[in-house]
Amino acid sequence: MSGNTFGTLFRVTTFGESHGPALGVVIDGVPAQLDFDIDFIQSELDRRKPGQSAMTTARKEGDKVQILSGVFENKTTGTALAMVIFNGDQHSRDYSNIAETYRCGHADFTYDMKYGFRDYRGGGRSSGRETAARVAAGAVAKMILKQYGVSVTAGAISVGKVAGKKIDLTAPEKNIVRAFDGDMAEAMVKEVESARADGDSVGGVVGCFAHNVPAGLGEPVFDKLDALIAQAILSLGSVKGIEFGNGFEAAALRGSENNDEFLAGGKLATNRCGGVLGGISTGSTLEFRIAVKPTPSVSIAQKTVNKALEETVLEIKGRHDPCIVPRIVPVVEAMTSIVLCDLILRAKSDRMS
């Protein structure tokens, strides 16, 4: 598993398992002299942590971040910036049934196929808990982006079968499902509660908007803006799809309907392309949507196999998010911010002089 680093100049390396001693991240390439705001990092982690609301698992995780290196006198030094979040008490829970049985929809089986071995305590490295480290890194990226005027906002477009009807960028932080359409939030909450009552779960569609992205970001031909965003977002375990601008709808349109015309001054009249042409930002808002699958941990019995690959039946107990959508929102913002920050640094050598 040599895939724990992401980025070229703003390089993020995460480590840690859900039930190990700690999670953490090293960021290599943070420019020196950035004013460092640890409270902002903590506030971003708080947006992701469990137990925030009725929507999320009742597990309490403190998720207190500590800075181990790279900051001196409240400024970044230019050296590797390391942050760590120690995990709380890992009560000696009984994992014996999960240790021997592969949970449906989880990475238990594939980790074992790959490594011949797995950390069965709560998913180990494959746990969603790993994303806490990404959020901490994303918060640093956001601090840098702020200097360039760039902001990134994600939120829920739909939850289960309930879809919002509008995009209000101020809405997500005001309702517990983090919906862009505040008027539909209550219906979305009910959709989640109904699934939970059935011992089941629901997914949703999350949208992300990055404003004030300068034109010219993205490195053809493989590290295009949309390509790197796609890698960053699909590297989240519960994401099954992504689309930019018109996305899948574009497939059924004609070119004359799908093209964005230019206006005097170089602005685009529309943003069907989602802010990216030829893999490079246009200067318009970067827009994409992602498909979040329903949490695989359901207490409804499902057929599976044990380590000997014999059939068995598993009912997952314990406290799980019936819907991951509200908590994935800050993670999507974090990954998007990391990509944009890396590309801003890379763009510094686009031209001579």
* Of residues 170-199, those binding a second copy (CB under 8 A): 195, 198
CA distance 264 to 282: 14
- Binding a second copy (rule: CB under 8 A), the pick from 60, 64, 93, 114 is 114
According to CB under 8 A, which residues from 201 to 230 bind a second copy? 201-205, 215-224, 226-230
Backbone angles phi, psi at 115, to 5 degrees: -105, -10
Site membership for a second copy, residue 233 (CB under 8 A) = yes
Q: Which stretch binds a second copy (CB under 8 A): 13-21, 45-53, 164-172, 176-184?
A: 13-21
End-to-end C-alpha distance for the chain, whole angstroms: 40
CB of 60 to a second copy, least distance (A): 21
Contact 328, 289 (CB under 8 A): no
Task: Please give the full DSSP string across 82-108, using - where no structure is assigned.
Answer: EEEEE---------HHHHHBPPTTSSH
CA distance 200 to 196: 5
Site membership for a second copy, residue 5 (CB under 8 A) = yes
- By beta-carbon proximity to a second copy, the closer residue of 170 and 301 is 301
- Binding a second copy (rule: CB under 8 A), the pick from 135, 144, 188, 189 is 144
- Binding a second copy (rule: CB under 8 A), the pick from 64, 161, 317, 319 is 161
Site membership for a second copy, residue 23 (CB under 8 A) = yes
- By beta-carbon proximity to a second copy, the closer residue of 170 and 220 is 220
Site membership for a second copy, residue 107 (CB under 8 A) = yes
How many other C-beta atoms lie within 10 A of the C-beta of residue 77? Answer: 16
- Binding a second copy (rule: CB under 8 A), the pick from 113, 149, 173, 318 is 113
Site membership for a second copy, residue 28 (CB under 8 A) = yes
Tokens of 112: 């074992």
CB of 143 to a second copy, least distance (A): 9
Site membership for a second copy, residue 52 (CB under 8 A) = no
Contact 244, 287 (CB under 8 A): yes
- By beta-carbon proximity to a second copy, the closer residue of 170 and 346 is 346
- Binding a second copy (rule: CB under 8 A), the pick from 155, 160, 164, 330 is 160
Site membership for a second copy, residue 118 (CB under 8 A) = yes
According to CB under 8 A, which residues from 258 to 297 bind a second copy? 258-266, 269, 273-274, 276-283, 291-297
Contact 282, 214 (CB under 8 A): no
* 104: exposed, middle or buried (Cβ count in 10 Å: 0-12, 13-18, 19+): middle
- By beta-carbon proximity to a second copy, the closer residue of 53 and 147 is 147
Contact 336, 229 (CB under 8 A): yes
How many other C-beta atoms lie within 10 A of the C-beta of residue 267? Answer: 12
Measure Cα distances from 115 to 107, 118, 176, 304 in Å.
12, 7, 38, 20
Site membership for a second copy, residue 97 (CB under 8 A) = no
